[in-house]
Structure 1
Amino acid sequence: MKLEKMDVKDIIKPENLVYQKPKLLTDKTMHYCPGCTHGVVHRLVAEVIEDLDIQEKTIGVSPVGCSVFAYNYIDIDWQEAAHGRAPAVATGIARVNEDKVVFTYQGDGDLASIGTAEILHACNRGENIVVIFINNAIYGMTGGQMAPTTLLGQVTATTPCGRDLERNGYPLKITELIAQLPGTSYVTRQSAHTPATARKCRKAIKKAFQNAIDKKGTSFVEVVSTCNSGWRLSPVDANIWMEENMFPFFPMGDMKDGERDAPDAYLKKN
């Protein structure tokens, strides 16, 4: 049958013409800046929880940072944590509630700066949690200061001439470090700035949550993101800047996918 003779109903399905909000997303207006990646990732997390039918079993831990109000937007149980301490809080929750699926949702300032010790040790222990890590290379909530992930030469509120190697050191590839830890089962880096990348990111988040259900240890999903207000760019230009500058330094893809390391190599030999 030729395309011009097909009924339009055979080409466009009615259900695809209407935005279908995930049931777990509340009706509250998000406070994020237009173009911010947080809203997209919130939707993906809500969709995954719905897909796996674990709404009543899931507990999120929200941090200090732009996503501090995440508990307002996804209708599950939440616990607030002090700055950087979300992995420690999630550890306690997961250990006393072994039937629950526990995840943290953190930015790069929260996770890779003040919370470095918490995230490294939680991943090294192999705590049965999911970590969603939003990396936009800047402190978004507090005025656009340099973060551990800020690129060399990148202009921020505290590096007006660009991040300098001698003064500020190297950007931190925290996800590469975490991939080396024996307690992690799944470590990946994704983005969510196009429909195609959002679908890949959703798949990665779903795998991470399934790992938590299967008690495979720590799953870590980094999402390279934009902060167009902090970067002083439009949403479109921020996406372009991210592709041209962040992706070469923070390449996409899985870094570890399987099981926690076998304990044999770590056992004391008599």
Structure 2
Amino acid sequence: MLKSLAGRRVLVTGGSRGIGKGIAAVFAEVGCQVLITGRDEDALASTAEELSGRAADGGRVSWFAADTSDPADCRAAAAETVRRFGGIDVLCANAGVFPDDPLHSMAPESLQQVMATNFHGTVYSVQACLDALADSDLGRIVVTSSITGPITGFPGWSHYGASKAAQLGFIRTAAIELAAKGITINAVLPGNIRTEGLDDLGEDYLRRMAASVPLGRLGSVSDIGHTALFLASEEAGYITGQTIVVDGGQVLPESLEALGVQ
């Protein structure tokens, strides 16, 4: 059984919805003090209120508006976490965007936006939290990457895939540099996770997506949250620079035929 993380101070970027919300919920439910960031203040406030109602004794969720593509915002979010909670034990660098944009028509601005949020934002968030993480007796960084880019591809997401692959290149060298400070950094690679955006695509679409997953279902945001919780635990202290694929086996079959899907 994992040692309790109750009372630990956690910063989750992109925490107002989707996977980030799921990560924040799991940490709150075990009694952590969680600060979520994002750009939509209404969504942040609503999520913080909802998750605080689900928090274990001693746990709470608060919010701070910040754009991870802006290094000054990242520094402000880290400073606010320290101000409110007295430090940072865990950074979950989760913020990301995934606009559909085919390669033949992709504008420079679209590529810049995706790289700025998904990759640069990861680096900026880590840099902003380093001093506080080094002061912690835990010092954990969990990056939300994806199977798209590092392992698979999807039409319209070449910029997204590149940003997610870049995150993995980053964590491998960062792990070496941060080891001397007692900080670990690892990445979670989600597969098809059921979020608010997917619900809008309809049940038929969701069933077709689930058919490509050996476990027969889409993942939940809590599946990613619990993986992040493990990587943040004391028991995971000898794991760094590594990746965990959380996809229900999605990347394993050679084709849908292997799953009996015609």
Q: Shorter-chain TM-score: which interval?
A: 0.3 to 0.5
Report which of the two has the higher share of helix: 2
Instruction: Give the TM-score of the pair, scaled to structure 2.
Output: 0.43
Instruction: Give the TM-score of the pair, scaled to structure 1.
Output: 0.42
